Amino acid sequence: MTTNAQLQARKEQAIARGQGNLAPVYVDRAKNAELWDVEGNRHIDFGSGIAVVNTGHSHPKVTAAVQAQLEKFSHTCVMVSPYDSAVELAEKLNAKMPGDTPKKSIFVTTGAEAVENCIKIARAHTRRRGVIAFHGGFHGRTNMTMGLTGKITPYKNLFGPFPGEIFHAPYPVEYHGVSIEDSLKAIDMIFKCDICPSDVAAIIIEPVQGEGGFYQAPAEFMQALRALCDKHGILLIADEIQTGFGRTGKFFATEHSGIEADLQTAAKGIAGGFPISAVIGKAEIMDAPLPGGLGGTYGGSPIGCAAALAVLDVIEEENLVERANHIGALFNERLTAMQAKFPQIGTVRNTGAMIAIELIENGDSEQPNTELTKALVGEAAKNGLVLLSCGIRGNVIRFLPALTIEDEIANEGLDILEKCFETLTK
């Protein structure tokens, strides 16, 4: 039998260290919210491939759709010889994007590509150059998306220079003393000191920050951004790569604030683990680039389209948007009880099934407990629980269970988490 340790040794010899892995656990098979490694050990998955398998690992309906497509064809390139599944998927995504304005979509392959294309489309439509993003935001690992990202380590460290005409403002986080007014004043200062608003093509924001720490933008702030963009002819881009497809208890997270973005990204949860992403936006804006200006060889893969259509069916049939709220409430109750036992848990927060705890020292939100955060992820892995960390301070544990996770499995995983806390805080 090949062991996890043997595979880790081979991996370190064969794969560049920059593409690291959380723990030396090599998956052999997976079902819903459980994984089994090559040694036969069972693990409860609270990461879901970073919010990708919202419908659980190997959902039978998604698997069947992919198998049926494979029997037909695997690739023709949607820009050469298209197929009906791409048209149907675009129609359904257009209908799902909040707002009454007519919509259109394009398909690419990764979240970073979706963000890049949002910037291209925004610049083509406005004929402007500047972009405003936010501290703590994560938008990808390409050069443009690294420039937009507001977190240095590990995403930007060693990789500059980055594109010009990108400016960052503080994201409103009440827990860390950054108010809505602070953020809006900072944008106003950008307009006064760095770039005229008439030269700004877009403002891009995650409605709930992912890598930045699972902070939700207040509805009032999203509404203020919408008004600001309307005032100056700036496009508002909602980066919904991690927040989409039911994860936050709405199909898209902008629904929490009642705003209509001009453009928005979709990836991660779109297709149950098959690589496809999209830009969805107002039709007039989406049509600004000339024919051939958007796309990619693998964009809109027929396999990805088939999987995504199945995912949409599963979300509706199994009521997974509402299920996300149930999961969030379950985790919130258990984690709040743990907070009473472990003062290192500074705060518990969730938006649907985007759930987080922030670990601190001495009861001070400005003293991040990064060592405990790292230790907790490692201890959980040893005990059969997949946990992910995040946050610009490196002190947030994020929980992204499949929206199909059974309550008993969720509680079993939370029991493991509690035991790990007990072990590490004796």
Angular region, 266: left φ>0, alpha ψ -120 to 50, beta rest: beta
Domains and CATH numbers, the chain: 4-55+319-424 (3.90.1150.10), 62-317 (3.40.640.10)
Question: Are the C-beta atoms of residues 156 and 149 closer than 8 Å to each other?
Answer: yes
Asked if residue 85 lies in contact with residue 302, where contact means CB atoms within 8 angstroms, the answer is: yes
Burial class of residue 92 (count of CB atoms within 10 Å of its CB; 0-12, 13-18, 19+): middle
Neighbour count for residue 368 (Cβ, 10 Å): 20
What is the C-alpha to C-alpha distance for residues 65 and 61, in angstroms, rounded to an integer? 6
Cα separation of 50 and 241, whole Å? Answer: 10
- The CA distances from residue 219 to 128, 172, 224, 415, in Å, are 27, 11, 9, 34
Residues 6+ apart with CB under 8 A from 159: 143, 146
Query: What one-letter code names the amino acid at 408?
Result: E
Whole-model pTM over 0.85: yes
Calculate helix-pair angle for 302-317, 60-72, nearest 10 degrees. 150
Mean pLDDT, consecutive 10-residue segments, the chain of 426 residues? 92 93 93 97 97 98 98 96 97 98 98 98 98 97 95 89 96 97 98 98 98 96 98 98 98 98 98 97 98 94 98 98 98 98 97 98 95 96 96 96 98 98 93
Burial class (CB in 10 A: 0-12, 13-18, 19+), 268: buried
Q: Report how far residue 109's alpha carbon sits from residue 111's, in angstroms, rounded to the nearest whole number.
A: 7
Among residues 222, 132, 211, 142, which one has the least CA distance to residue 170?
132
Kindly calculate the radius of gyration of the chain based on its CA atoms and give it in whole angstroms: 21
Peptide bond into 163 cis (omega under 30): no
Counting every residue, how long is the chain?
Answer: 426
Which residue intervals of 179-218 are DSSP H helices? 180-193
The closest alpha carbon to 160, from 144, 176, 174, 171, belongs to 144
Of 184, 190, 189, nearest to 223 by C-alpha is 184
- Amino acid letter at 154? P
Q: What are the CA-CA distances from residue 187 to residues 46, 192, 246 (Å)?
A: 36, 9, 30
